[in-house]
A = this chain, B = another copy of it.
Amino acid sequence: MNAKAKKASGPRRSVCPVAGTLDIVGDKWSLLIVRDMRAGKRTYGEFAASPEGIPTNILADRLRRLEEAGIIAREAYQEHPTRYAYVLTEKGGDLGEVLRAFVRWGKKHIPGSQTRAEIAAAEKNA
């Protein structure tokens, strides 16, 4: 664990619920993993294959932190070697409202934004 990861999972900065939430998911990657899980992705390899290209060391760190925070849970789906599938907990599923707010803001204010459903529809019509 590097110093940055340790700090990120350290004590909360204040009683503010915004600060407390940012203590857990206030980085560029954690909510993308939650997004991927809501889209049905479950494995390390599936998360690593997302278009943003998360570095594998960051992916491993974020999965560990999200599990420690009770946002995701993992279960072994294969042995020798052991491989894990990740699922959102109820606490993690409740981040859906946060993600929907991000989608709306991004679609309104970031030109060229396209959701997964929009990309799929465009491919179907091509």
A residues sitting closer than 8 Å to B (CB atoms) are: 8, 12-24, 26-29, 31-32, 35, 50-53, 91, 94-95, 97-110, 112-116, 119
CB neighbours (8 Å) of A114 from chain B are: 15-17
CB neighbours (8 Å) of A94 from chain B are: 105, 108-109
B52 pairs with A105, CB closer than 8 A:
no
Which of B97, B108, B110 lies in contact with A12, CB distance below 8 A? B110
Query: SS class of chain A's interface: helix, strand, loop or mixed?
Result: helix
CB neighbours (8 Å) of A24 from chain B are: 110
> Would you mind naming 20 contact pairs between A and B with Cβ atoms under 8 Å apart?
A13-B51, A13-B53, A14-B50, A14-B51, A15-B112, A16-B113, A17-B103, A17-B106, A17-B113, A18-B32, A18-B35, A18-B99, A18-B103, A19-B52, A20-B106, A21-B102, A22-B32, A22-B102, A24-B110, A94-B105
A31 to B19, CA, bound (A): 9
A14 to B18, CA, bound (A): 26
